[in-house]
Structure 1
Amino acid sequence: MKEWIPIPGTNKDTLIKVALEEFSLYGYKGVNISKLAQKANMTTGAVYHHFGSKSKLYEVIRTDMEQRLIDRMEGAASLFDKPEEAIKAALLTGLNFAIKGNICKLISEEAPYDKKDKIEEYISELTVENDLPIEVVLISSWRSILKGISSNQLTAEQGKNLIAWIFNKGE
């Protein structure tokens, strides 16, 4: 069991739930720790006691959401033999999860800490058979779609249609 998983109902659990909501709505830069603590009915000291900093709290939230997203993407991709179909299914499943969880903004933004991007790594693994570094285009397009949805420039349906369009252009 991961050490940061909180016991339900504890202050740490409450902070994680409120932080997930805040970071998902406003992104890293848009979240104020004082306001986050106030929304959780706690002090800023409680946030720093449990997480040390805003960036570490964000990292806990982001890492958890990325892993949940990748788990779903892997499951969807495993259903297909053809790499193109597996990648398309993974991206669509990831998009659906991000939309349902309201984490499009969280997942689309660049992380404020230096760690490997696990989603990018996963998509790179799926595209390893390709002669071109197609993952560069896929990950940037996918994240742009997430960003467009989070800023209301795209609907969820338009995002899904864009992913389908990317894969249909090669036919």
Structure 2
Amino acid sequence: MKEYIPLPGSTKEKILTSALDIFTKQRFEETNINEIAKKANVTTGAIYHHFGSKSKLLDIIKREVEQRIVDRMEGVIDLFETPLEKVEAALKTGLDFVIKKKMSYLFIDAQGLEANKVYMLVEELCGETGIKGLESMIYSAWISIIDSVTNSELTIEDGKNLIIWLVKKN
């Protein structure tokens, strides 16, 4: 069992649930630790005691959300044969999940790619194509598409069409 999985109704669970709700509605920089504490009905000290900092709390939440997305992506890639078909299906599935669950800000904010489970899956799939550097370009475009859909600059269907175009160009 992972150390951060809280017991239902526990202080840890209240903090994680409240923080997830807040981090999905606004960017990390806009989020105040007091806001999370108030929503969870705990003290800021409880947050620091259980998680150490706002950024560590966000890291735990991101890892959990990334795993949910990767699970869905891995489920869909088994339906396809070629690496580029797998990349396209995985990214479209991930886009659907992120937008429908309103978790865009967890991906739009800057993060290290080396620990990002979604990036690592994209890297693995793109590695099968033999096209060097494809994973960085595809992943960056995916994040930009999420940002554009979140800001109503694109529809989710436009985003999926861009993913198709990107994959077909490679």
Same fold, TM exceeding 0.5?
Answer: yes
- Contact persistence 2:113–2:119 (CA under 8 A): no
- Contact persistence 1:70–1:122 (CA under 8 A): yes
Aligned residues: 169
* Counterpart residue number, 1:3: 3
Point out where structure 2 has 5 or more consecutive residues left out of the alignment: none
- Contact persistence 1:66–1:107 (CA under 8 A): no
* Counterpart residue number, 1:30: 30
The Cα shift of 1:49 comes to 1.4
Higher mean C-alpha displacement, 161-170 vs 54-63: 161-170
1:91-121 Cα offsets, whole Å, 9 max, x none, are 011111111211112122212x795222211
The sequence identity of aligned pairs, in percent, is 43
Higher mean C-alpha displacement, 153-162 vs 92-101: 153-162
- Contact persistence 2:76–2:93 (CA under 8 A): yes
Tell me how far apart the structure 2 counterparts of residues 142 and 13 of structure 1 sit (CA, whole Å): 31
Normalising by structure 2, we get a TM-score of 0.91
Q: CA RMSD in A?
A: 1.7
State how 1:23-102 maps to structure 2 within 5 Å.
Answer: 23-102=23-102
Normalising by structure 1, we get a TM-score of 0.91
Point out where structure 1 has 5 or more consecutive residues left out of the alignment: none
Tell me how far apart the structure 2 counterparts of residues 41 and 109 of structure 1 sit (CA, whole Å): 26
Tell me how far apart the structure 1 counterparts of residues 38 and 95 of structure 2 sit (CA, whole Å): 31
Tell me how far apart the structure 2 counterparts of residues 114 and 56 of structure 1 sit (CA, whole Å): 16
Runs of 4+ in 1 over 6 A off after TM superposition: none
SS of the residue aligned with 1:5? coil
The Cα shift of 1:161 comes to 2.0
1:124-145 Cα offsets, whole Å, 9 max, x none, are 1001132322112110100101
SS of the residue aligned with 1:42? coil
* Counterpart residue number, 1:121: 120
* Counterpart residue number, 1:20: 20
Opposite residue 54 of structure 2, the aligned amino acid is K
